[in-house]
């Protein structure tokens, strides 16, 4: 054997020794849980997919590519009256997890619970996907995205490392991320959404709405209540639903502000820009002097205040268009 072949063989051997032996691990547990109860999952690793689709009982399936998963983690399954709890804790603490960060990519929890369940999900290492629930939903993750669909209850979702997507929520929503965009459609309640690292896109919210981002624009369509929308990194666009006279505050230092309002409602308009002009095609009765960089006046006699501010572009006020 030549010297080069010997070196190649040694290199391959070292790589094989350094690479963990991957094998499938799978366990499934069934826990007693009647509709109206509470399910809690707290894990130091892995992504979570939870669906409300059973008549009674909770089914938890854990999969991993490591055959030594049970040696690395303590698994606890508890059943009490009206409550089912699953806890997965890493043995050896955070330091061991630092050297084995690939666990997060290869561990997953699939959970089925009664639709009428209050749910709390917490993971340190993956995305969370929850759907088809009629109870309250709480979600926390330090390392992935959040996805929610068809939940008839309040939702509280927070992540430090991914995007947020929500559809069809019949309740109040509070959600935040430090590292991604937010995309939300159809909330029949109030909404509070904040991000430090992406844009915000929202469609159809019936209640009060607060949206803030430091890293992108804000685009809101079909706002049914009062709106506060703020951006440090892009434009702010808000289309108020017909009949919405609740007002609000729209500000940006990274672009322009554009809003569409119903011309038949009563509002007090307070708009100004240090980065462009202010224009309106709704019949505002102007108060004080006319200035191309500001507009203050009443629409249909005045009402709740709609305050518009931009230091990175102009301000445009338009009539709500048919859609």
Residue 257 lies in a domain: yes
**Cβ-proximal residues to 226 (8 Å cutoff; 6+ apart), any chain:** 208, 209, 246, 247, 248, 304
The whole-angstrom separation of Cα 164 and Cα 181 is 6
The whole-angstrom separation of Cα 230 and Cα 251 is 5
Residue 220 lies in a domain: yes
Residue 235 lies in a domain: yes
- The count of structural domains within the chain is 1
Per-residue confidence (pLDDT) for residue 10, from 0 to 100 = 35
Rounded to 5 degrees, φ, ψ at 106 are -125, 15
The whole-angstrom separation of Cα 246 and Cα 306 is 8
Transcribe 28-92 into DSSP letters. EEEE---TT-EEEEEESSBEEEEEEEESS-EEEEEEEEETTHHHHEEEEEEEETTEEEEEEEETT
The closest alpha carbon to 267, from 248, 253, 247, 252, belongs to: 247
Residue 266 lies in a domain: yes
Give the angle subtended at the CA of 251 by the CAs of 250 and 253, to the nearest 5°: 160
Q: Quick check: 244 and 208 in contact, CB under 8 A? A: no
Q: Taking the complete model, does pTM exceed 0.95, yes or no?
A: no
Residue 22 lies in a domain: no
- Domain of 296? 184-323
Instruction: Give the three-class secondary structure for 14.
Output: helix
User: What is the full per-residue pLDDT of the chain (323 aa) written as tens digits?
Assistant: 444 443 334 333 433 333 344 448 999 999 999 999 999 999 999 999 999 998 899 999 999 998 899 999 999 999 999 999 999 999 986 545 544 445 555 899 999 999 999 999 999 989 999 999 999 999 999 989 999 999 999 999 999 989 999 999 999 999 999 989 999 999 999 999 999 989 999 999 999 999 999 989 999 999 999 999 999 989 999 999 999 999 999 999 989 999 999 999 999 999 999 989 999 999 999 987 678 999 999 999 999 999 999 998 999 999 997 65
Residue 157 lies in a domain: no
Residue 161 lies in a domain: no
139, burial (CB in 10 Å: exposed 0-12, middle 13-18, buried 19+): buried
Q: Quick check: 206 and 189 in contact, CB under 8 A? A: yes
Beta bridge partners of 268: 298, 305
Beta bridge partners of 80: 83
Residue 269 lies in a domain: yes
Give the angle subtended at the CA of 41 by the CAs of 175 and 122, to the nearest 5°: 35
Give me the long-range contacts of 146-151 (CB less than 8 A, separation at least 24).
146/175, 146/177
Break the chain down into helix, strand, coil percent, rounded to 5: 10, 55, 35
């Amino acid at each position: 054997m030549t010297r080069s072949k010997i070196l190649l063989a040694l290199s391959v051997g070292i790589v094989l020794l350094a690479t963990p032996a991957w094998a499938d691990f799978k366990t499934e547990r069934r826990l007693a849980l009647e509709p109206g109860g509470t399910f809690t999952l707290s894990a130091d690793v892995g992504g979570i997919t939870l669906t409300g689709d059973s008549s009674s009982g909770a089914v938890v399936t854990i999969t991993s590519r490591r055959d030594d998963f049970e040696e690395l983690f303590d698994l606890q399954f508890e059943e009490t009256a009206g409550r089912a709890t699953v806890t997965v804790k890493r043995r050896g603490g955070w330091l061991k997890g630092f050297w084995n960060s690939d666990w997060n990519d290869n561990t997953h929890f699939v959970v089925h619970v009664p639709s009428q369940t209050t749910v709390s999900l917490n993971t340190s290492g993956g995305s969370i996907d929850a759907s088809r629930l009629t109870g309250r939903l709480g979600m926390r993750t330090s390392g992935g995205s959040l996805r929610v669909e068809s939940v008839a209850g309040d939702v509280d979702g927070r992540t430090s490392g991914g995007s947020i997507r929500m559809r069809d929520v019949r309740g109040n929503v509070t959600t935040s991320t430090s590292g991604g965009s937010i995309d939300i459609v159809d909330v029949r309640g109030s909404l509070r959404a904040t991000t430090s690292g992406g844009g915000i896109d929202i469609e159809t919210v019936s209640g009060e709405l607060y949206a803030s981002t430091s890293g992108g624009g804000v685009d809101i369509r079909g706002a049914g209540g009062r709106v506060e929308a703020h951006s440090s990194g892009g434009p702010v666009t808000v289309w108020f639903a017909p009949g919405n006279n609740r007002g609000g505050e729209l500000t940006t230092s990274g672009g322009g502000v554009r809003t569409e309002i119903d011309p038949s409602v009563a509002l007090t308009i307070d708009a100004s820009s240090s980065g462009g002009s202010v224009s309106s095609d709704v019949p505002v009765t102007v108060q004080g002097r006319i200035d191309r960089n500001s507009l203050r006046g009443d629409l249909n006699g005045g009402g709740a205040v709609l305050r518009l501010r931009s230091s990175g572009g102009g301000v445009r006020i338009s009539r709500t268009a048919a859609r």
